[in-house]
Amino acid sequence: MKLTYLGHSTVHIDTGEHKLIIDPFLTGNPVATVSAEEVEADFVLLTHGHSDHIGDAEAIARNNQCPIIAVVELANYFAAKGLETTGMNLGGSFTFPFGKLKFTPALHSSSVEVDGANVYLGNPAGILLELNGFTIYHAGDTALFTDLQLIGTRHRVDLAFIPIGDFFTMGPEDALTAAEWVSARHVVPIHYNTFGLIRQDGDLFVSELSKLGITGHALKPGEELHHHQLSL
């Protein structure tokens, strides 16, 4: 399995059999190292409807003729554009060809601006993926909240992608607590350094994680992690 961080909150997962992309935001992303046209995907997974998380969802889905999986209102938004979608909701899970996906709660908002007005796109979510015995948690955009502990008590989280940017999401201090609460064995910080408002020190965050006994990886856009690097 190969996991590639593409900047902001965009993660590409290659299981060896399927390719997944979470929250694709490449066009207009100043730190992106690849274009939407270069992305190969079998499934597009979305946590919520903000433009910095769905910006390239339509283009990638069309280019690859692949479905979008999201909370139902967000899925309906793309279905109205003629795309294949699967609309789920918080707490719901389903076993897809790539593995099991579950949408978990997140504390944030979810909308897109259309003709100057915000269009509601359902509740924001996190994504739990069980892929061949390996569990990945992508927190999406969220504040710190105590129910994150339920993820850690009910799932063995091998790798968590957790936002640290502050301003729009939790910052580094809250993200350290979140990493503990979800009992993550490895953590990759996301949603930071894309813009000035969310500038943070990823290496410092990783250093603080190590004091908690958690292995962190401050990946730069385009950098990869492989399954053997995450074995415990």
Query: What domains are defined for the chain?
Result: 2-230 (3.60.15.10)
Phi/psi at 128 (5° precision): -105, 125
- pLDDT by 10s per residue, the chain, length 232: 999 999 999 999 999 999 999 999 999 999 999 999 999 999 999 999 999 999 999 999 999 999 999 999 999 999 999 999 999 999 999 999 999 999 999 999 999 999 999 999 999 999 999 999 999 999 999 999 999 999 999 999 999 999 999 999 999 999 999 999 999 999 999 999 999 999 999 999 999 999 999 999 999 999 999 988 887 5
pTM over 0.85? The answer is: yes
Phi/psi at 195 (5° precision): -135, 165
pLDDT given for residue 228 in this prediction: 85
Helices then strands (H, E): number in the chain?
Answer: 6, 16
- CA distances to 102, 122, 135, 162 from 130, in Å: 9, 24, 5, 17
Residues 6 or more apart whose CB falls under 8 angstroms from that of 229 comprise none
pLDDT given for residue 97 in this prediction: 98
> Which residues on neighbouring strands pair with residue 160, listed in sequence order?
137, 187
pLDDT given for residue 232 in this prediction: 55
DSSP structure class, residue 84 = -
Instruction: Report yes or no: 4 and 136 within 8 Å, Cβ to Cβ.
Output: no
